[in-house]
Amino acid sequence: MDQTQGRPQAVIVGAGFGGMEVASALARAPVDVTIIDRHNHHTFQPLLYQVATAALSAPDIAWPIRSILRKQENARVVMADVTGVDVAKRVVQAGPVEIPYDFLVLATGAMHSYFGHDEWEDAAPGLKSIDDALEVRRRILLAFERAEVVDNPAERHRLLTFVIVGGGPTGVEMAGAIAEIAQHTLRSDFRRIDPRAARIVLVEAGPRILPTFPERLSTYAQRSLERMGVEVKTDSLVTECRKDGVVLKNGRIGCDTIIWAAGVKASPAAQWIGAEADRAGRIKVGPQLEVPGRPEIFAIGDTAVLADPAALPIPGIAPAAKQMGKYVGRLIAARVAGSKITNYFAYRHFLDLATVGRKSAVVRRGRLQLTGYLGWWFWGIAHIYFLIGVRNRFVVALNWFWSYVTFQRGARVITER
Ligand SMILES: Cc1cc2nc3c(=O)[nH]c(=O)nc-3n(C[C@H](O)[C@H](O)[C@H](O)COP(=O)(O)OP(=O)(O)OC[C@H]3O[C@@H](n4cnc5c(N)ncnc54)[C@H](O)[C@@H]3O)c2cc1C
């Protein structure tokens, strides 16, 4: 591929939260930045569940990478699926295309983990990309449509049963949003079925939902969900996901729609470079986020973990990926300028948030714990603040306000798979 001659080549794989931050931190550095992604857009993953439940449309939470970087003259975008890295030749491989690098940043994020049961994916799609969200939306809306035309009451009940596997923030948010669709949005739209009869089950293997939050907030979230009509099943390990339902260690639930929100594993970037990885596949990096023995390669975000077992764990969340991206961008810029950054990466944790339906959220910031309406406002403002582009902030705020006031969800379109 053509490259600008003479200047160091910084190649970033992955235009997620971490990768975009590296590119932006290198905006003024005398390097050529190439950012490679398999998608043409950057996705705001925290709001994927709103696309999956028809509150927002895909373009509200995804922006073309080219358009975000259009004013950054030293950056170019390559849409390609990276398949490997030749560390000896220092090239990134994307099928037959080779992209040379002097500095390489691996920011390829994570993907669903079915704990060794990849065959469950068909029956239980997860939520990681815009495509996933559209597929989940399609399945949820189709289930109501099919139930409307079915005569057999048992089959109708099965079609109107929705199981969400995993009681972390995504599972809690999905369960609350589906309950809202069934209870409010669709309640007057059908003639033969009553959407309010839908059964929504949130299944969690551990003893409580939102296990990383303080127990008080977990209890609050569970009670709020139950008030919305969601059945919360804790201590319920899933042993099989099938087309006709979910098998638990303590029972079976017949259903048509299963949504997987139970686990993630890192992208295969560690294999590309032959680096040591932890059990989740994350590359073990040194204190400057460099790959040990390869000072020109960095790994950040969901695809990296600090190698030092004594280091405080860094959560797999957007602010962590952004902080790592900014740090590595500055480090590369300093190295190119001939100076040396000696400080190590230090993660700063700001807050934990999860929304529970349309007017409730749980928030923890240090010793401050917020619930209910106040928490929901805090959650909404935090998400709108992080959205890229004034237009998107405006559109998202407007859509939220509209669906809040009217209970309607504007993006209720069933698309082909
Ligand atoms: C449904 C959901 C809800 C979430 N909610 C929250 C939340 O409320 N708050 C929060 O802070 N965090 C949340 N997260 C987590 C947060 O989104 C991640 O921690 C963050 O996106 C990690 O950033 P990253 O840069 O490491 O990876 P990502 O943002 O995942 O970006 C990785 C990029 O790499 C690209 N890529 C991957 N493999 C290849 C390849 N082989 N070739 C080319 N490109 C490739 C992908 O297309 C993607 O654009 C949520 C995640 C999900 C899935």
Amino acid at 310: A
What is the reported pLDDT for 408?
73
The closest alpha carbon to 186, from 177, 197, 199, 196, belongs to: 196
pTM of the entire structure?
0.94
What is the reported pLDDT for 5?
63
Question: Mean pLDDT score of the chain, rounded to an integer?
Answer: 93
Which uninterrupted H or E stretch holds 22? Answer: helix 17-25
pLDDT-derived band at 4 (thresholds 50, 70, 90) equals low
Cβ contact 200:230 at 8 Å = yes
Q: Kindly tell me if the per-residue pLDDT of 2 is higher than 60.
A: no
What is the reported pLDDT for 401?
78
**Which residue among 17, 40, 127, 353 has the greatest number of ligand 1 atoms within 8 angstroms of its CB, and so is best to mutate?**
17
What is the reported pLDDT for 290?
98
The closest alpha carbon to 371, from 356, 393, 390, belongs to: 356
- In short, whether 127's Cβ falls inside 6 Å of ligand 1 is yes
Q: Kindly tell me if the per-residue pLDDT of 353 is higher than 80.
A: yes
Phi and psi based region of residue 394 (left: phi greater than 0; alpha: psi -120 to 50; beta: remaining)? alpha
- In short, whether 319's Cβ falls inside 6 Å of ligand 1 is yes
CA 259/CA 249 separation, integer angstroms: 18
**Residue 26 tokens, joined:** 């290198």
| Cβ contacts of 116 within 8 Å, gap of 6 or more | none
What is the reported pLDDT for 3?
53
Q: Kindly tell me if the per-residue pLDDT of 386 is higher than 70.
A: yes
- Cα–ligand 1 centroid distance for 42 (angstroms): 9
Q: Give the mean pLDDT of 144-167.
A: 97
Segments in 289-411 forming alpha helices (H):
318-336, 372-386, 390-406
What is the reported pLDDT for 413?
83
pLDDT in tens, 244-275: 999 999 899 999 999 999 989 999 999 999 99
Amino acid at 280: A
Closest ligand 1 atom to Cα of 21 = 25
In this structure, how many other beta carbons lie within 10 angstroms of the beta carbon of residue 44?
23
| Cβ contacts of 417 within 8 Å, gap of 6 or more | 135, 138
Percent of the chain with pLDDT over 90: 81
- Least confident stretch, 38-52, 263-277, 382-396: 382-396
| SS3 call for 391 | helix
Residues facing 11 on adjacent strands: 34, 104
Which residue, by CA, sits nearest to atom 26 of ligand 1? 301
Residues facing 299 on adjacent strands: 106
pLDDT in tens, 303-345: 999 999 999 899 999 999 999 999 999 999 999 999 988 899 9
What is the reported pLDDT for 302?
97
pLDDT in tens, 71-105: 999 999 999 999 999 999 999 999 899 999 999 99
Segments in 253-371 forming alpha helices (H):
269-273, 318-336
| SS3 call for 231 | strand
- Least confident stretch, 94-103, 153-162, 215-224, 353-362: 353-362
- Cα–ligand 1 centroid distance for 405 (angstroms): 31
- Catalytic machinery residues: 173
Q: Give the mean pLDDT of 162-188.
A: 95
- In short, whether 108's Cβ falls inside 6 Å of ligand 1 is yes
Percent of the chain with pLDDT over 70: 98
Spacing of C-alpha 170 from chain mean position: 8
- How close are the terminal C-alpha atoms of the chain, in Å? 34
Q: In Å, what is the CA distance from 291 to each residue of 26, 303, 323, 404?
A: 20, 12, 17, 47
In this structure, how many other beta carbons lie within 10 angstroms of the beta carbon of residue 86?
13
CA 276/CA 304 separation, integer angstroms: 11
Where are the strands (E) in 249-300, listed by range?
251-254, 257-260, 264-266, 283-285, 290-291, 294-299
